[in-house]
Amino acid sequence: MGHQRLGKLPAHRLLPEIVRFLVTGGAPTEDLVDQVTEVGQDALKLALKDPVFIEALWLLIRVPQAAASKNFPATLGDLGMAVFAPTSLSDVLVSYDRAIEKVQRSLHAGATDLGEIARRAGLAALGEAVRGTLPTLWAPTATDVRASVAALKGTEQFAALAHRFYANFVERVIHYYVDRNLHNMVGAGRVARSVHDLRAFNDSIRRHCDESALIMRAFARDWLGKNHYKDGKQISKDDVGRFSAHAVEKIRIELDIRKGTP
């Protein structure tokens, strides 16, 4: 990924201080949560303008609905995915990935690293959700795979998927910088004294992202319940864009509350 396309995020200058606070107990120039808030808020606001971000979230809604339809392959084709019924979790993820990749390619020079981060966040969220419902006592069949994907179409399941997607996205934005600067952070006299310190950082950031994104789960559940199940609406990408704008605002408010801002 070319980092020059990501834009100027406050995270770049704040990351060493965030790591220092987490792994050594040092005193950062700003409160830790305040710094992580800047990272997440800035990235989420920029991502709302990225078609790949919207596509990744839209497919998390529509793929389970496709699996529950009468003609699974044809409905997947309508979504821009491969026109065949997946027989494994890998098939599901590859098809999801390729559909998003088509959007990335269509943007040409307009593609951004935030879109790439969203693609990976969506893949991770979908893979985790489907894997959690597959049988474990025998090798999953094509029928098992379809049933597991279809099981994610409910409002509670979408709420969990959306929560995981947003949390993954913010966490990956932070790691976008950390992973590029590991060689400057690890070692005697540096910010992180060992790889163990970095694991402590990873765990702390993951918890923070999970807890901050949790606030929008009820909103995601109620939004899908009203629009799709009550009103019978077929969710469009524009709908997802509006939903995400509200979800991001809820996460922003939650992050502000965490840093003590009214």
pLDDT digits (tens, 9 = 90+) for 183-204: 555 556 555 556 666 677 677 7
pLDDT digits (tens, 9 = 90+) for 143-184: 999 999 999 999 999 999 999 999 999 888 877 766 665 555
pLDDT confidence of residue 183: 57
Q: Count the domains in the chain.
A: 1
Given a contact cutoff of 8 angstroms between Cβ atoms, the answer to whether 163 and 213 are in contact is yes
The sign of the CA dihedral 34, 36, 38, 40 is negative
Q: Which two tokens stand for residue 109?
A: 């020079």
DSSP three-state, residue 166: helix
25-41 b/e with 16+ CB inside 10 Å = b?
eeebeeebbbbbbbbbb
pLDDT digits (tens, 9 = 90+) for 43-86: 888 888 899 999 999 999 999 999 999 999 999 999 988 888 88
What number of CA atoms fall less than 13 Å from residue 81's CA on the CB side?
26
3-state class percentages of the chain: helix first, strand second, coil last, to nearest 5: 75, 0, 25
Mean pLDDT rounded to a whole number for the chain: 80
Given a contact cutoff of 8 angstroms between Cβ atoms, the answer to whether 110 and 7 are in contact is no
User: The pTM is what?
Assistant: 0.82
Helix axes 113-131, 142-150, angle to 10 degrees: 110
What domain range includes position 81? 3-258
At 9, is the pLDDT very low, low, confident or very high (cuts 50, 70, 90)? very low
Cα 50 from chain centroid (whole Å): 13
